[in-house]
A and B are shown apart, each in its own frame.
Chain A
Amino acid sequence: QKEVEQNSGPLSVPEGAIASLNCTYSDRVSQSFFWYRQYSGKSPELIMSIYSNGDKEDGRFTAQLNKASQYVSLLIRDSQPSDSATYLCAVSPTDFQGGSEKLVFGKGMKLTVNP
C-alpha cells in the first residue's frame, strides 16, 4: 500500500523564521510530488510541485526532493502569520503522461507562525 508520511507536528515558529516540513513516501516509482496548503475548513491549495532531484525555489518557498531517500521537504523562509495552515504532502505514483495520476496525501503538518 502506497503511503505518504509526514512529521506528526504541530510546528510552531516565530515570525521571520524558517519553517521546515518533511515528508517520506513508500512507492519508489513515484514521479510527481506536491505541497498543498490547507486552511481550516478550506480546500487544498497548491504551493509547490517538484519532479526531479534537487531544490526548486519559488519566492519564499523551496521544495527539496531526494528520490534515493524517498524524501521531500518544504522550507518556508521569512515565515508570516498568514502562513499558518496545515501543509499537505502529496505524491502521484506515476508519470503524468500515463495512468490516473491520483494523489496520495499525507496527514498534514499544522504550522503556526507566531507574530
Chain B
Amino acid sequence: EPEVTQTPSHQVTQMGQEVILRCVPISNHLYFYWYRQILGQKVEFLVSFYNNEISEKSEIFDDQFSVERPDGSNFTLKIRSTKLEDSAMYFCASRVEATQYFGPGTRLLVL
C-alpha cells in the first residue's frame, strides 16, 4: 500500500541553523500539507500546498518557514533560522478526496 515517507526521522540542530525536512507524498495525490505537534500538545496545521503554490497557511507559518516541491516527488519544509520553540514532530500529509494520509514524522530538536 502506498505511504507517505519522510526524512530524516530525527534531526538535532542548533538554534539559528536552517533545517530542511523532506517528504515524499503518495504518488497520485495532489494536495500536500505540513503539520506539527509539540510534545504533549495537539496536532497543528502549518501549511497546505496545491498546484505548486501555497493554498493556505497558519499564523505559525511565518517568514521563517517555506515550502517547496522541487521535483515531481519531493515536498520540503524549510525553517530558515530555527528557534527553541520549533522543537516538535513535523508531519507531512497528502490528500486524495477528503482523506489525508500522514507520514511517520520528523522529530526536530533545537538546542
A-side interface residues toward B, CB under 8 Å?
32, 34, 36, 42-46, 49, 51, 88, 90, 92, 96, 99-108
Report if A108-B95 is in contact (Cβ < 8 Å); known contacts: A43-B103, A43-B105, A103-B100: no
Roughly how many angstroms separate A55 CA and B27 CA in the complex, as a whole number? 32
Check if A100 sits within 8 Å of B56, measured CB to CB: yes
Of the candidates A46, A96, A102, which one forms a contact with B97 in the assembled complex, judged by CB atoms under 8 Å apart?
A: A96
Check if B43 sits within 8 Å of A88, measured CB to CB: yes
Roughly how many angstroms separate A96 CA and B30 CA in the complex, as a whole number? 13
Roughly how many angstroms separate A100 CA and B34 CA in the complex, as a whole number? 12
Which residues 51-70 in B have Cβ within 8 Å of A in the complex?
Answer: 55-56, 58
Check if B98 sits within 8 Å of A32, measured CB to CB: yes
A32 partner residues in chain B, CB cutoff 8 A: 98
A103 partner residues in chain B, CB cutoff 8 A: 33, 35, 43, 45, 93, 100
How many B residues have CB within 8 A of the partner chain?
26
- Min Cβ gap B87→A in Å is 15
Check if B42 sits within 8 Å of A101, measured CB to CB: no
Contact residues of B: prevailing secondary structure: strand
Check if B45 sits within 8 Å of A104, measured CB to CB: yes
B89 partner residues in chain A, CB cutoff 8 A: 43
Q: Which residue of A lies closest to B49 (CB)?
A: A100
Roughly how many angstroms separate A84 CA and B39 CA in the complex, as a whole number? 19
Report if A100-B101 is in contact (Cβ < 8 Å); known contacts: A44-B43, A105-B43, A106-B42: no
Check if A102 sits within 8 Å of B98, measured CB to CB: no
Roughly how many angstroms separate A107 CA and B40 CA in the complex, as a whole number? 9
Of the candidates B58, B98, B102, which one forms a contact with A101 in the assembled complex, judged by CB atoms under 8 Å apart?
A: B98
A45 partner residues in chain B, CB cutoff 8 A: 102
Q: Which residue of A lies closest to B31 (CB)?
A: A101
Sample (22) of A-B pairs whose CB atoms are under 8 Å apart:
A34-B100, A42-B104, A43-B89, A43-B103, A43-B105, A44-B91, A46-B99, A49-B99, A96-B95, A96-B98, A99-B55, A99-B56, A100-B56, A101-B100, A102-B45, A102-B48, A102-B56, A102-B58, A103-B33, A103-B45, A106-B42, A108-B42
